[in-house]
Amino acid sequence: MLLELLSVAALVVVLGCAVVRPFRWPEAVFAVPAAALLIAAGALPLKDVGEEAVRLGPVIGFLAAVLVLGKLCDDEGLFHACGTWMARWASHRPRRLLGAVFTLASVITAVLSLDATVVLLTPVVFATGRSMGARPKPHVYASAHLANTASVLLPVSNLTNLLAFTATGLTFTRFALLMLLPWLAAIAVEYAVFRRFFAADLDVPVKPVKADKAPELPLFALVTVAATLAGFAVASAFGTDPAWVAAAGAAVMAVRALARREVTPAAVVRSAALPFLAFVLALGVVVRAVVDNGLGDALGRVLPDGTSLPALLGMAALAALLANLINNLPAVLALAPLAAPSGPGAVLAVLLGVNIGPNLTYAGSLATLLWRRIAHQHGHDVRLREFTLLGVLTVPAALLASVLALWVSLATIGT
């Protein structure tokens, strides 16, 4: 009982400090000591710590590579080109700008992960909206929601997907095929709600502006990203971990940038966000301690069995609830192993819950917390009531639509 209470207290402290970030210290400053304390207290044997490190190692390596790849693509001008394209496409029509943001955010989230959308695209959305004289709120909220909702498509779109990918037993291509229809369904629901919810902001007339000259497309970055994405599918077919492919793509971009002296080795290392990687590993250890000391048994008693439509809906709902209570990373770490015996469809339903569900609260995902900080840095006041109301309108509908779509995909494509 004592170890159970200690494990839960450690998780609460780690997540609370990740939300508040006292003194603006990195999340790892609190997570690493908490994990060390649990290990020293015997809440998690060293053997299990080693198993957790081995399980999370490839995931952390992939995350580091994608962060480097995204930052170097930004340095090449890829996201600036996206912003210019949005402005030229939208001209003086805010509704068209919303459509452009939805399109780009969905694609960037799926291919370069939700971190690229939050960290690199959100500032571009701010700049594009202001250059048009449009109210930024609908478009900025779209980048936050789509960073979560649009991350269900590929195993590499979200850290939660990577954590559960091996539990599905699927290939990269099969995973994408099964999640394509749920991805489209969830995005369509979000778009319909956004157009109604922000109708007043989108109907405000803006002065026509002369669009910037179309920038030169960063072909090297585009080709590298495309080759990396294709490499994921090929590597999966041969049983190769996607971390190696991501590392190869990042290495290609880094070598070119270093050779042209456009970046320093220190800057490349910084872009890998080493403190955040340490936080992910430490969080995994803390969650493993919580699961092994009681949470796993409790969740096992309430998690539905099988892949019938009611079971899939129940799994997604439980995953969404747990994500908003303890954050989506701990939620998927706890639920994916429990859902795996019911088959790949059950794990995918859990992923829908932990990816779409966090749009309900700030603390649902680390990406939302990071987005909120970026919004504040750009002088945008994110109101809790408005954020929560938008989540109430989008999350249940998007979850229902995406789970129905998953059920159809499982019935027609199979696993």
Structure token pair of residue 221: 């970055």
The confidence score (pLDDT) of residue 18 equals: 76
* Helix, strand, coil percentages, rounded to 5, for the chain: 80, 0, 20
- Report how far Cα 183 is from the mean position of its chain's Cα atoms: 13
Residue 158: helix, strand or coil by DSSP?
coil
CB 371 within 8 A of CB 115: no
Q: Output the pTM of the full model.
A: 0.83
Residues 37, 349: Cα–Cα separation, whole Å = 34
Read off the pLDDT of residues 139-159 as tens digits, 9 standing for 90 and up.
Answer: 889 999 999 999 999 988 888
Read off the pLDDT of residues 173-199 as tens digits, 9 standing for 90 and up.
Answer: 899 999 999 999 999 999 999 999 999
Counting the structural domains of the chain, the total is: 1
Which regions of the chain are under pLDDT 50?
none
Structure token pair of residue 313: 């809906």
Residues 75, 66: Cα–Cα separation, whole Å = 14
Residues 376, 35: Cα–Cα separation, whole Å = 31
Q: Is 134 exposed, middle or buried (0-12, 13-18, 19+ CB in 10 A)?
A: buried
Residues 413, 344: Cα–Cα separation, whole Å = 12
Alpha-helical segments (H) within 21-121? 28-41, 46-75, 78-90, 94-112, 114-116
Residues 407, 313: Cα–Cα separation, whole Å = 9
* Contacting residues for 380 by C-beta, under 8 A, at least 6 apart: 126, 136, 137, 140
CB 370 within 8 A of CB 151: no
Residues 253, 409: Cα–Cα separation, whole Å = 36
Domain carrying residue 377 = 1-413
- Nearest-CA neighbor of 129 among 90, 102, 103, 74? 90
Instruction: Region of 22 please: left (phi>0), alpha (psi -120 to 50) or beta.
Output: beta
The confidence score (pLDDT) of residue 183 equals: 97
CB 131 within 8 A of CB 139: no
Q: Which amino acid is at 269?
A: V
